[in-house]
Amino acid sequence: MGKKIDTTHYKRFISFEGIDFCGKSTQINALLERLTEHGISPLLVREPGGTVISEKIRAILLSPAHREMHMRTEIFLYEAARAQLVHQKILPALQTGKYVIADRFFDSTTAYQGYGRRLDLEAVKLLNRFATAGLKPYRTFFIDISVEEAERRGQQMGRGRDRLESGGRDFFQRVRQGFLKLCKEETERFVRIDGERPMDIIAREIWEIVRKIWEL
């Protein structure tokens, strides 16, 4: 399995999670603006992606042309992209004292592939630990919206859906419930955010939490 990472030193690593169209990108951008005002320029990474190799894997994973992809193939591709990102970008940044914000991390795999695809949860968690060498975000913000609200926002945006976004209502219900279970299992790490409120109110709530964690 390799040497496990000592996560106690990585308070500067946070992640954002949620089902599609929950508003993660909007809130991450709002947080980045606040941090810039304080002279902080975090490393922002996204999953899957963030490195040359990981972005190539992302293109394969999200392309609607690959609908024949087996769910086990899918999870190995996610873990491969994650392993490259962690060891090429995230760990080196943290080890030099840089702040890191992840737009999705291994919790998405637990929710989407574990709960959504109904793969064996213990196997999913084992793969997550292997790919990350045990690294965890210090705080994870789960922006929670209903599946119905996600569908409404998706229709309002009027853009095409990628392979994962085309999973269907039942799939996304399972994914959302998976995230909610993770929130209950790891109450110290997860922060559930009601994502159906005005954007500025959500942004202020997130900022106050991050400001205290990072002592800004």
Whole-number Å distance between alpha carbons of 147 and 168: 10
Torsion angles phi and psi, residue 181, rounded to 5 = -65, -40
The two tokens of residue 197 are 């409120």
Domain count, the chain: 1
Local structure of 190: helix, strand or coil: strand
In a domain, 3, yes or no: no
Q: Please give the C-alpha separations between residue 198 and each of 34, 157, 205, 214, in angstroms, as whole numbers.
A: 17, 17, 11, 25
Contact assessment for residue 67 and residue 164, using Cβ atoms and an 8 Å cutoff: no
- pLDDT grade, residue 3 (50/70/90)? low
* Prediction pTM value: 0.92
Give the CATH number of the domain where residue 113 resides: 3.40.50.300
DSSP H/E element including 44:
strand 43-46
Whole-number Å distance between alpha carbons of 136 and 5: 9
In a domain, 80, yes or no: yes
In a domain, 7, yes or no: no
| Rounded CA Rg of the chain | 17
Which domain covers residue 16, as residue numbers? Answer: 12-213
- Counting residues of the chain whose pLDDT is more than 70, the rounded percentage is 92
- At 118-146, the pLDDT tens digits run 999 999 999 999 999 999 999 999 999 99
- Quick one: pLDDT at residue 165? 56
Local structure of 192: helix, strand or coil: strand
Whole-number Å distance between alpha carbons of 196 and 149: 8
- The residues with which 100 forms a beta bridge, in sequence order, are 13, 43
Q: Is the pLDDT of residue 107 over 50?
A: yes
- pLDDT grade, residue 1 (50/70/90)? very low
Whole-number Å distance between alpha carbons of 129 and 133: 6
In a domain, 4, yes or no: no
In a domain, 186, yes or no: yes
Mean pLDDT of the chain: 93
Q: Is the pLDDT of residue 8 over 60?
A: no
Strand order in the sheet with 100-103: 43-46, 100-103, 13-17, 139-144, 190-194
Question: Average pLDDT for residues 24-43, to the nearest whole number?
Answer: 97
Dihedral over Cα of 130, 43, 153, 190: its sign: positive
- At 171-212, the pLDDT tens digits run 999 999 999 999 999 999 999 999 999 999 999 999 999 999
Whole-number Å distance between alpha carbons of 174 and 178: 6
In a domain, 1, yes or no: no
- At 158-174, the pLDDT tens digits run 765 555 655 688 999 99
